[in-house]
Amino acid sequence: MTDTLHRLPSAGGPDPDDGEHPRLLRRRHQVHRDRSDRRRRRVRALLSAVLAVVVLLGAVAVVAFSPLLAVERVVVRGAAPARSVEVQRAAGVRVGSPMVRVDESAVRRRTSAVAGVASTRVRREWPRTVVVDVVPERAVAVLDVGGTRRVAGVGGRIVDLPAPSGIPVVEIDPAVWDGRPAADGAVPAAVADALVLVEQLPAGLVPVLGTGRLAADGTLEFERPDDAGVVRFGPPEEAPAKVLAAATMLTGPVDLDCLAVLDLREPSRPTILRRRNCNVGAPTVGGPTTTAPRPTTTAPSPTTTAPRPTTTVPRPTTTVPRPAVTVPG
């Protein structure tokens, strides 16, 4: 028979643990204590982590905003001395300001707006230097709108630069542009797209092409000097392939006599159309061929008649007797 231990009720009322085995009671109390201990350890770990982050951020802030990491100098590279002073002034970065507070995007926008500057790249060289790399403006074409000429730079922006020799002149249809640039010097999108192709023309190809014309529909063509034909690029799409095809056809071993139109609208299949007064037949499509008539010279070729030996072979003859027919008189 198993004996059951019972705890006597206390005088203050019923005991909540009344009737529970002491071993189970001790186990339950131990579980509660373990849970409390784990909870306190988690809270202490969380507080320690938060405190460590706060201390770290404070240390970073103190170091970042201290004179140890302040801007000591602003370096401008890639520009002429006079232009460097303008770029440095436009950057607006004060010496002594914290390096972490330098807004690279804002500095890039301000410095790119300087006259004679095509674009800039801004970076921080720790611990105390800000560098502005300048891409100088470069004249790529002279735009002629109704006799008014303006110099266009890289990216399709009117620049205050003298027109150097060797850059092409492009006549713009007034329906495309009236010749007045925007406040920032930008030209319309159709003109800017055509300038992307013009920028890629090799220097040696420009004199061969002659004067360009941008039509109202946005197509570009060049009239070669001395009425030597027209080079038709068409829309500005596939600009690198069209420029390569033009260089190959105009400077390679291609017969361009009587050229009327060199059509490069399909750069993989350049087409040569010749003038009517040249007897060349059908248009030439594709590779370098020559269709101009070539003079022919007929020279009498020496002939030598050598006597050929003749051999006479006697043929056998056969006499067939004919029957005689007598007609009575």
* Interatomic CA distance for residues 128 and 132, integer angstroms: 14
For 21-30, 151-160, 284-293, which range has the lowest pLDDT when averaged over its residues? 284-293
Predicted local distance difference test score (pLDDT) of residue 142: 96
Structure tokens at 110: 């301000």
pLDDT digits (tens, 9 = 90+) for 51-82: 888 888 877 766 666 778 899 999 999 999 98
Is 67 or 269 the better-scoring residue by pLDDT?
269
Please name which of 142, 83, 152 lies closest in space to residue 116, comparing C-alpha atoms: 83
Side chain identity, residue 142:
V
Predicted local distance difference test score (pLDDT) of residue 27: 82
**Which residues lie closer than 8 Å to 87 by C-beta, 6 or more apart?**
76, 79, 111, 114, 117, 120, 132, 134
Sign of the C-alpha dihedral computed for residues 176, 179, 184 and 186 taken in this order: positive
Q: Is the pLDDT at 250 greater than 60, yes or no?
A: yes
pLDDT digits (tens, 9 = 90+) for 271-329: 999 998 776 555 555 544 444 444 444 444 444 444 454 444 445 444 444 444 333 43
pLDDT digits (tens, 9 = 90+) for 173-214: 999 999 999 888 889 999 999 999 999 999 999 999 999 999
* Interatomic CA distance for residues 239 and 21, integer angstroms: 93
Q: Is the pLDDT at 3 greater than 60, yes or no?
A: no
Predicted local distance difference test score (pLDDT) of residue 143: 97
84-100: average pLDDT:
94
Predicted local distance difference test score (pLDDT) of residue 319: 45
Please name which of 59, 177, 73, 186 lies closest in space to residue 124, comparing C-alpha atoms: 73
Please name which of 222, 219, 281 lies closest in space to residue 247, comparing C-alpha atoms: 222
Q: Is the pLDDT at 132 greater than 80, yes or no?
A: yes
* Interatomic CA distance for residues 250 and 253, integer angstroms: 8
Q: Is the pLDDT at 28 greater than 90, yes or no?
A: no
pLDDT digits (tens, 9 = 90+) for 210-248: 999 999 999 999 999 999 999 999 999 999 999 999 999
Considering the chain, what is the average pLDDT of its residues? 82
Percent of the chain whose pLDDT exceeds 70: 77
Q: Is the pLDDT at 16 greater than 50, yes or no?
A: yes
Predicted local distance difference test score (pLDDT) of residue 321: 43
* Interatomic CA distance for residues 285 and 283, integer angstroms: 6
Predicted local distance difference test score (pLDDT) of residue 206: 95
Q: Please, are residues 176 and 194 in contact by the beta-carbon 8 Å criterion?
A: no
Q: Is 30 helix (H, G, I), strand (E, B) or coil?
A: helix
* Interatomic CA distance for residues 142 and 76, integer angstroms: 29
